[in-house]
Amino acid sequence: MENNFQQLANDVNTGKISWQKLVDETAARIGKSTQEVDAMFAQQRINPAMLALVTKLHKTYKTALLTNANHEFLEPIIQEAGLAELFDVITMSSHVGVTKPAAPIFHHTLKRLGVQPGEAVFVDDVERNAEGAKVLGMQAVYYQNFEQMKIDLEKILSK
């Protein structure tokens, strides 16, 4: 069953199916209403400390949001939270048709930022995504918790 959900997630994150199709399929598979599934996803929260850090970094550095989240789910959140002002580039896998850690999504984002891999630092809470960035020559931080990530990022930026 997990593979079926992984395939659904991959399909929505690469734009092969709509967000509503994911919600409908998930509801049917777990025996919940679409409203209950929507409510589960609505519980996702933005970390205020991370927003503050990105706001600070954006004053000095180019910033990008590179996400495997589906645009139909994420765009309303970005608009509501005013996140577009914090990022020079926002790349969503469902627009590009490929997910992290595949090289093309990183190259797409780097090109839009106008930077080379060696000039970029990538932060992600999924280790394979951070490793994928490193393979391309980017510096990367695997986010395990906010304090650890902030320390690791400061080490890189102070070089």
Read off the pLDDT band of 150 (50, 70, 90): very high
Name the amino acid, one letter, at 150: K
* Residue, of 1 and 48, whose pLDDT is higher: 48
Read off the pLDDT band of 138 (50, 70, 90): very high
Rounded to whole angstroms, how far apart are CA atoms 1 and 104? 29
pLDDT tens, residue by residue, 95-117: 999 999 999 999 999 999 999 99
pLDDT of residue 5: 77
Ranges of H-type helices in the chain: 2-13, 19-30, 34-42, 48-58, 71-81, 93-96, 103-113, 127-135, 146-157
| Highest CATH level, class, for 48-157 | alpha beta
Distance in angstroms between the alpha carbons of the first and the last residue of the chain: 46
pLDDT of residue 3: 59
The SS3 assignment for 58 reads helix
% the chain with pLDDT above 90: 70
pLDDT of residue 108: 98
Name the amino acid, one letter, at 84: A
Question: Is the confidence at residue 142, as pLDDT, over 80?
Answer: yes
pLDDT of residue 2: 54
Cα of 10 vs its chain's centroid, Å: 13
Average the pLDDT over 114-127 and give the result: 97
Question: Is the confidence at residue 33, as pLDDT, over 80?
Answer: yes
pLDDT tens, residue by residue, 59-86: 999 999 999 999 999 999 899 888 999 9
Read off the pLDDT band of 123 (50, 70, 90): very high
pTM: 0.84
pLDDT of residue 106: 98
H or E segment at 99?
A: none
- Which residues are bridge partners to 141 per DSSP? 123
Task: For the chain, give every domain's residue range.
Answer: 2-42, 48-157
Contacts from 90-94 at CB under 8 Å and sequence distance 24+? 90/64, 90/65, 91/64, 91/65, 91/66, 91/67, 92/67, 93/13, 93/14, 93/15, 93/67, 93/68, 93/69, 94/12, 94/13, 94/14, 94/15, 94/69, 94/70
